[in-house]
């Protein structure tokens, strides 16, 4: 009440406008390619902040530190009750401008570019904010955009606190350790159980429902304080016998022996592809990427668009197995996330050890390699699949790590810009800036023969600069100071 009294004293009113149906756009893709759905977050019991902003408006940029403070207090690093979506609503803004805000650390919450702005919302202006409560109607409140940073933090915090809280409120957040392609006789999903209620959660029942029928029920006992989570593995149950796509619902009921007072977040729906035992087959995908394996992603999907296999986050050569239906047709796509080709890489796909196709960088159009194929309905077996690769290895070329004496960074430490200094004449094909974990931060592009790049937008710390030249790969540490 102290916070609300302060807000009223300075003349800031909370304006409750209506329900979630007044928001026409509730599906978003952020600048990093992650999907977000407003109603899904509300169903999980999350409070959602819709923060509309424009990258070219200084008044919007000035509020980013306050929103980041809210995110750290109430997001996954804080109470974990809130999802904050930063929505850039100006249609002419390019992705690079939004990505720059993300890269400089101004906003670690999801940033979304070029969606419907505020023309269909009341109190439209930049910036403007809505706090949406996870109640049955998704009631939302408009936040005055003319607040200072401290006022904004206090006002949004008060609205978060005003969203209804229940004593008994158990939630199924998501499923984990669950392969949606079932090639076994049994199914055994895991889930994240979340206590949003004020009562310590000690007992409940977990139900599995398929085709409107509860096929399994399991009791859970434990001790979860408010906002705590735990992973629960369900007992295995029999998989459907016929090939098809099945919808499964996992639901938490009877928390602490009583009725759940907030039923909108009790369950999670999961789609799974079941392949009948007599039709199951196994594909083996071997890929030896180029010197940037972290850029590689792949999908295998059937003619209905159902994804049966996916992979990313590699550090070197890899071998993956994929369960599929014999006699069916598929599409395989291998992407290069940086859209600059698959230099010197190669790969093969096998069915029971029999090669279906092979590909090299010549088959890559700069963004992806794509093959459409059908599997034999008969069971054939060969013995051609490569041995399990050594993670981090790369057999695509005979190039060796370039000596540190060949390419150096100057100055190092640096604060404004960095230049590459070559002790011998050599062609530089690609330069990337990585963090100390080897994750890509940005691709460095040079203009003409100027081998320098700016670092003043980066936080102080240690980085890696990876350079691919005609003589090989050089990776150097770069210290950035402020």
Shared domain check, 366 and 405: no
List the 190-195 sheet strands across, edge first: 170-176, 190-195, 229-233
Contact yes or no for 76/173 (Cβ under 8 A): no
Q: What is the pLDDT of residue 165?
A: 78
Q: What is the pLDDT of residue 478?
A: 83
**Which of the listed ranges 2-16, 122-136, 192-206, 350-364 does the model predict with the highest average pLDDT?**
192-206
Q: What is the pLDDT of residue 391?
A: 42
pLDDT band at 251 (very low <50, low <70, confident <90, very high): very high
**Strand locations in 79-212 (E):** 82-88, 111-113, 128-132, 140-143, 170-176, 181-182, 186-187, 190-195, 201-210
Give yes or no for residue 144 having a pLDDT over 80.
no
Shared domain check, 149 and 36: yes
Residue 239 lies in a domain: yes
Give the pLDDT mean for 454-476.
75
CB half-sphere exposure, 350, CA atoms < 13 A: 20
Q: What is the pLDDT of residue 472?
A: 58
CA–CA gap between residue 35 and residue 261 (Å, rounded): 29
Higher model confidence: residue 378 or residue 423? 378
CB half-sphere exposure, 220, CA atoms < 13 A: 30
Give yes or no for residue 366 having a pLDDT over 80.
no
Shared domain check, 348 and 313: yes
CA–CA gap between residue 76 and residue 89 (Å, rounded): 25
Burial letters 195-216, b for 16+ CB under 10 A, else e:
bbbebebeebebbbbbeeeeeb
Residue 379 lies in a domain: no
Give yes or no for residue 428 having a pLDDT over 70.
no
Higher model confidence: residue 70 or residue 337? 70
Shared domain check, 253 and 237: yes
Structure tokens at 70: 């809210």
What mean pLDDT is reported for the chain? Answer: 78
Give the pLDDT mean for 326-341.
78
Contact yes or no for 26/140 (Cβ under 8 A): no
Higher model confidence: residue 402 or residue 452? 452
Residue 320 lies in a domain: yes
Higher model confidence: residue 253 or residue 336? 253
Q: What is the pLDDT of residue 405?
A: 45
List the 267-274 sheet strands across, edge first: 181-182, 267-274, 244-253, 201-210, 213-224
Q: What is the pLDDT of residue 386?
A: 56
Give the pLDDT mean for 305-316.
83
Shared domain check, 72 and 186: no
- Burial of residue 74 (CB within 10 Å: 0-12, 13-18, 19+) is buried
Backbone angles phi, psi at 101, to 5 degrees: -65, -40
We report the CATH number of the domain holding residue 425 as 2.60.40.3080
Shared domain check, 123 and 241: no
Domain boundary among 374, 392, 412: 374
Length of the chain: 482
pLDDT in tens, 164-221: 778 999 988 777 655 678 888 888 888 889 888 889 999 999 999 998 899 999 999 9
We report the CATH number of the domain holding residue 99 as 3.40.30.10
Q: What is the pLDDT of residue 55?
A: 81
Residue 320 CB partners (closer than 8 Å, separation 6+) = 284, 285, 309, 311
- Range in 29-38, 112-121, 182-191, 364-373 the model is least confident about: 112-121
CA–CA gap between residue 253 and residue 203 (Å, rounded): 10
The total number of structural domains in the chain stands at 4
CA–CA gap between residue 424 and residue 412 (Å, rounded): 20
Shared domain check, 152 and 22: yes
Shared domain check, 283 and 204: no
Q: What is the pLDDT of residue 413?
A: 83
We report the CATH number of the domain holding residue 288 as 2.60.120
Domain boundary among 251, 274, 297: 274
List the 461-469 sheet strands across, edge first: 400-401, 472-480, 461-469, 428-434, 440-444
Contact yes or no for 468/454 (Cβ under 8 A): no
Shared domain check, 262 and 185: yes
Residue 449 lies in a domain: yes
Give yes or no for residue 139 having a pLDDT over 80.
no
Give the pLDDT mean for 446-475.
74
Q: What is the pLDDT of residue 202?
A: 97
Helix or strand holding residue 18 (H, E): strand 15-18
Structure tokens at 128: 């403007």
Question: 149: which DSSP letter?
Answer: H
Shared domain check, 412 and 324: no
Q: What is the pLDDT of residue 14?
A: 44
pLDDT band at 115 (very low <50, low <70, confident <90, very high): low
Residue 382 lies in a domain: no
Shared domain check, 195 and 151: no
Residue 380 lies in a domain: no
Structure tokens at 74: 């109430």
Give the pLDDT mean for 292-314.
84
In 3D space, the residue among 240, 234, 267 whose CA is nearest the CA of residue 253 turns out to be: 267
CA–CA gap between residue 11 and residue 5 (Å, rounded): 10
Helices (H) and strands (E) in the chain, counts: 5, 34
Q: What is the pLDDT of residue 401?
A: 43
Give yes or no for residue 153 having a pLDDT over 80.
yes
Q: What is the pLDDT of residue 85?
A: 92
Residue 122 lies in a domain: yes
Shared domain check, 141 and 58: yes
Higher model confidence: residue 81 or residue 21? 81
Domain housing 354: 278-374
Give yes or no for residue 404 having a pLDDT over 60.
no
pLDDT band at 13 (very low <50, low <70, confident <90, very high): very low
CA–CA gap between residue 205 and residue 220 (Å, rounded): 6
Domain boundary among 274, 294, 319: 274
Residue 387 lies in a domain: no
pLDDT in tens, 20-65: 666 656 788 888 888 998 888 887 788 999 888 888 777 788 888 9
In 3D space, the residue among 122, 128, 55 whose CA is nearest the CA of residue 95 turns out to be: 55
Give yes or no for residue 122 having a pLDDT over 50.
no
Residue 160 CB partners (closer than 8 Å, separation 6+) = 47, 74, 81, 82, 131
Give the pLDDT mean for 228-234.
90
Contact yes or no for 172/205 (Cβ under 8 A): no
Cα angle 164-165-166, degrees, rounded to a multiple of 5: 120
Contact yes or no for 480/415 (Cβ under 8 A): yes
CA–CA gap between residue 336 and residue 359 (Å, rounded): 14
Contact yes or no for 155/241 (Cβ under 8 A): no
Give yes or no for residue 392 having a pLDDT over 60.
no
Higher model confidence: residue 371 or residue 293? 371
């Amino acid at each position: 009440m102290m916070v609300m009294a302060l807000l009223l004293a300075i003349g800031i009113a909370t304006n409750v406008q209506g329900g979630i149906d007044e928001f026409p756009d509730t599906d978003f893709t952020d600048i990093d390619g992650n999907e977000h759905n407003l109603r899904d977050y509300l169903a999980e019991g999350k409070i959602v902040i819709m923060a509309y902003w424009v990258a070219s408006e200084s008044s919007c940029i000035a509020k980013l530190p306050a929103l980041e403070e809210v995110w750290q207090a109430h997001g996954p690093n804080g109470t974990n009750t809130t999802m904050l979506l930063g929505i850039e609503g100006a249609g002419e803004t390019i992705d690079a401008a939004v990505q720059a805000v993300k890269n400089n650390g101004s906003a670690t919450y999801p940033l979304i570019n070029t969606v419907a702005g505020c023309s269909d919302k009341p109190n439209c202006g930049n910036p403007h904010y809505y706090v949406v409560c996870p109640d049955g109607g998704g009631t939302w409140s408009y936040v005055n955009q003319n607040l200072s940073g401290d006022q904004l933090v206090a006002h949004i915090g008060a609205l978060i606190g005003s969203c209804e809280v229940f004593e008994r409120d158990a939630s199924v957040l998501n499923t984990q350790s669950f392969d949606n392609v079932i090639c076994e006789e049994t199914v055994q999903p895991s889930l994240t159980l979340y206590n949003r209620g004020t009562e310590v959660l000690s007992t409940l029942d977990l139900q599995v429902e398929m085709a409107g029928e509860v096929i399994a029920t399991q009791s859970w006992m434990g001790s979860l304080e408010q906002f705590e989570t735990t992973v629960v593995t369900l007992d295995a149950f029999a998989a459907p016998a016929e090939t098809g796509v099945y919808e499964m619902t996992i639901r938490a009921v009877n928390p602490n022996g009583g009725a759940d007072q907030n039923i909108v977040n009790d369950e999670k729906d999961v789609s799974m592809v079941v392949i009948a035992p007599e039709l199951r087959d196994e594909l083996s995908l071997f890929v030896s990427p180029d010197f940037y394996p972290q850029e590689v992603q792949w999908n295998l999907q059937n003619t209905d668009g159902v994804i049966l296999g996916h992979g990313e986050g590699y550090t070197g050569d890899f071998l993956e197995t994929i369960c599929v239906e014999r006699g069916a047709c598929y599409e395989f796509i291998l992407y290069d996330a940086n859209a600059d080709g698959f230099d010197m890489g190669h790969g093969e796909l096998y069915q029971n050890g029999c090669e279906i196709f092979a590909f090299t960088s010549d088959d890559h159009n700069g963004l992806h390699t794509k093959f459409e194929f059908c599997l034999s309905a008969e069971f054939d077996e060969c013995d051609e699949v490569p041995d399990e690769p050594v993670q981090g290895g790369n057999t695509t070329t005979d190039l060796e790590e370039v000596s540190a004496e060949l390419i150096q960074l100057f100055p190092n430490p640096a604060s404004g810009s960095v230049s590459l200094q070559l002790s011998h004449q050599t062609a530089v094909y690609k330069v990337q800036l990585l963090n100390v974990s080897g994750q890509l931060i940005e691709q460095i592009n040079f203009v003409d023969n100027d081998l320098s790049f700016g670092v003043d937008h980066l936080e102080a710390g240690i980085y890696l600069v990876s350079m691919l030249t005609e003589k090989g790969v050089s990776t150097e540490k770069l210290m950035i100071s402020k």
